Structure 1
Amino acid sequence: MLYRTLGQTQETVSAIGLGGFHIGHQEDEQESIKIIRSAIDRGITFMDNCWDYNDGVSELRMGKALRDGYREQVFLMTKIDGRTKKLAAQQIDESLQRLQTDHVDLLQFHEVIRVEDPDRIFAESGAVEAFLEAQQAGKCRYIGFTGHKDPFVHLRMLEVAKQHSFHFDTVQMPLNVMDAHFRSFEHQVLPALVESGIGVLGMKSMGDGHILKSNTVSAIDCLHYALNLPTSVVITGIDSMEILDQAIAAADTFEPMDAETVKALLTRTAEAAASGRYEPFKTNNQFDATAANPEWIGVPAA
């Protein structure tokens, strides 16, 4: 396994992270637990999760998997949807209870996908107050945010944070062979994160499988491309032992890619990527869980 430093935190984490959404999909929770523990045994230390994944099932299963000494071996992250202080605080406590821990290593604002999300989070009695109080109480160590919709929203979140003299430890975003061509987080957001020393969490290296449907790249190509960027962690969905083997193989075989290799990969994906067809999380709302459930963020339904 490759290990990298998480931004300016001085924390060492595995370059491959286990995605929390997919480990709630197995019919038998024992299979989920087996996948998580096998991943840890094979060197994956970064655990991703979220308060809303599979109606809490993902956190419950991860909590069970992290018993018996496994919690001490991982860097545990979860995400919260609430935009108000009250709702965010409630969700933080629910997540900790499900995960069977008194703290997470990293707590992130989830699905920052709307232009107004930064304003809600940093408003008076907004979610940032709950996060800071949780940090003060020892319920989380570091703070970040995630989003998958548009680089503009990420840049606005960074700007609003700066206006409030707030520095994020991490930022999570799509980084893949098609993002480079369409509404690109790599080109627009990544340089700002590197300059600020913010830990980069790459996600959707395969776009939940959509990028593979283009028949232009392999799964290993996708993981290698994301690992080649200045990412601290590439979070990938692992829903079976076979996919775990694939993720481990990607780490084992990764070597820094030269400019010609990168250019060849991007040339192969350019035409397919042009319209965002294989990145539906950017172009429609099928990945926007909080849009379908506005009560999760504390915004009344229209």
Structure 2
Amino acid sequence: MFDRRDFLRSLMGVTAGLAIGRPALAGEAQAGAAAMASPPTEDRLGKLLPMRRMGRTNEWVTTLGLGGSHIEYRGRISMKEAQAIIESAMEEGVRFFDNAQQYGNGEAERRFGQFLTPKYRDVIYLMSKTQATTRKQAERDMDECRSRMKVDVIDLMQVHHIASPEDVDQRIDAGVVDVLLKAREEGKIRHLGFTGHDTHRAHLHMLKRLDAMGVEFDTVQMPMNVVDPSYESFILEVLPALVERDYGVLAMKTLAFGQIVGKNEGWGRKNRVAPKVVPEKMTLAEALGFVWSLPVSTIISGMMSPEMVRENAALARAHVDLTEEHRLALIDKASEFAGPDTEFYKDRV
């Protein structure tokens, strides 16, 4: 039987290693080896947030990333507000920026192209996603994403929102992965990954199909929060396979799309009562610290104001990995709220 305690204990050393880096390989240039062995602490703009190694890419990324969906969020964020959020993120030392083609039908990417990349492309790690289900659509997304964000190269492109094993099969068989591999070979994108929040079964099937193809991706983005281990868990089911493959792990929905702090955001949530896991059962620092204490490279947060950016950045700077006992205690405290009402984005089983 799977032992949750033994699993969490085994992850402690891996998490610490993400912040330390890896030993320099023989034959690496001295400067390059030194940069690889320890993370940078500042760039031309000033001090950075803490950084971690992003798996097999050996890239250093900030432990907090700005979620692109909320830079537009269904038309609720003005252009002025979007610019203020981006500028606050840069000032606070955030250097990982997430986006996707379908966020506002490309509007979120266009805002990055207007307010982010013209000034800061040289110091940020830029990611987007494609939800294409056909080869032609994937090819179009490769070009349109780069055009909207005004860049020649995207650092990370991910297959977005894989919803089931059948969805994975359909996209691979349609040639979507082949298009991404070609784009990487042509230098349009640097790294590849995939995302999803419906079921861990889709993630495991994607890994299985990639293994069968002899293909290596670099990252996976998935829900990771304090209630996840108690219901259809990505942490318990998928994370071990990612650690084994040295994937960069990108945590999303670390507050269950706001449910953990009592916000009824998200689809199908307006007439329900959201649980206040924070602050009734734990602090915000504990809820986010639980995730940062796992082998994740970054938490991608949908921050909708400069104040939210500053609050999350302060927590990132102050974070110290929680002990095994502390993590298990938090899981136990949150377990009564676990299930499809809180993590509404997961498939009901």
If the length of structure 2 is used for normalisation, what is the TM-score? 0.78
Q: Does 1:164 align with 2:164?
A: no
Partner of 1:11: 59
Distance apart, 1:215 and its partner CA: 1.8
Residue by residue, what CA displacement relative to the aligned partner does 1:30-72 show, whole Å, maximum 9, x if unpaired?
A: 2202211221222111100000001211101111112443111
Q: Does 1:201 align with 2:265?
A: no
Residue by residue, what CA displacement relative to the aligned partner does 1:85-132 show, whole Å, maximum 9, x if unpaired?
A: 111010121111110111100000000012212212322x51112111
Percent of residue pairs bearing the same amino acid type = 37
Counterpart residue identity of residue 18, structure 1? L
Runs (4 or more) in structure 1 with deviation over 4 Å come to none
SS in 1 for 2:341: coil
Distance apart, 1:264 and its partner CA: 1.9
Distance, in Å, in 2 between the alignment partners of 1:252 and 1:27 is 27
Distance, in Å, in 1 between the alignment partners of 2:347 and 2:196 is 13
Distance, in Å, in 1 between the alignment partners of 2:302 and 2:243 is 25
Say whether the 8 Å CA contact 2:71–2:77 is kept in structure 1: no
Partner of 1:85: 135
Counterpart residue identity of residue 216, structure 1? V
Gap runs ≥5 in structure 2: 1-48, 263-274
Alignment of 1:240-259 (within 5 A): 240-259=305-324
> Of the candidates 135, 143, 146, which is equivalent to residue 184 of structure 2?
135
Say whether the 8 Å CA contact 1:40–1:74 is kept in structure 2: no
> Of the candidates 167, 170, 175, which is equivalent to residue 117 of structure 1?
167
Distance, in Å, in 2 between the alignment partners of 1:246 and 1:180 is 26
Decide whether aligned partners of structure 1 residues 187 and 255 sit closer, same or farther in structure 2, where only a CA change above 3 A counts: same
Alignment of 1:247-286 (within 5 A): 247-273=312-338, 275-283=339-347
Q: Count the aligned residue pairs.
A: 282
If the length of structure 1 is used for normalisation, what is the TM-score? 0.90
Say whether the 8 Å CA contact 1:211–1:278 is kept in structure 2: yes
Q: Does 1:237 align with 2:302?
A: yes
Partner of 1:180: 229
Q: Does 1:224 align with 2:224?
A: no
Distance, in Å, in 2 between the alignment partners of 1:269 and 1:28 is 35
SS in 2 for 1:78: strand
Greater C-alpha radius of gyration:
2
Distance, in Å, in 1 between the alignment partners of 2:59 and 2:159 is 20
Say whether the 8 Å CA contact 2:70–2:304 is kept in structure 1: yes
Counterpart residue identity of residue 262, structure 1? R
Partner of 1:36: 86
Partner of 2:25: none
Root-mean-square deviation (Å) = 1.3
Partner of 2:261: 212
Distance, in Å, in 2 between the alignment partners of 1:144 and 1:196 is 13
Distance, in Å, in 1 between the alignment partners of 2:129 and 2:205 is 19
Distance apart, 1:6 and its partner CA: 0.6
| Range moving further from structure 2, 255-264 or 137-146 | 255-264
Counterpart residue identity of residue 253, structure 2? K
Counterpart residue identity of residue 174, structure 1? P
Partner of 2:125: 75
Partner of 1:24: 72
SS in 1 for 2:158: strand
| Range moving further from structure 2, 49-58 or 35-44 | 35-44
Distance apart, 1:241 and its partner CA: 1.0
Gap runs ≥5 in structure 1: 285-302
Say whether the 8 Å CA contact 1:20–1:49 is kept in structure 2: yes
Distance, in Å, in 1 between the alignment partners of 2:230 and 2:113 is 38
Q: Does 1:58 align with 2:76?
A: no
Say whether the 8 Å CA contact 1:211–1:279 is kept in structure 2: no
Distance apart, 1:202 and its partner CA: 0.6
Partner of 1:299: none
Say whether the 8 Å CA contact 1:204–1:236 is kept in structure 2: yes
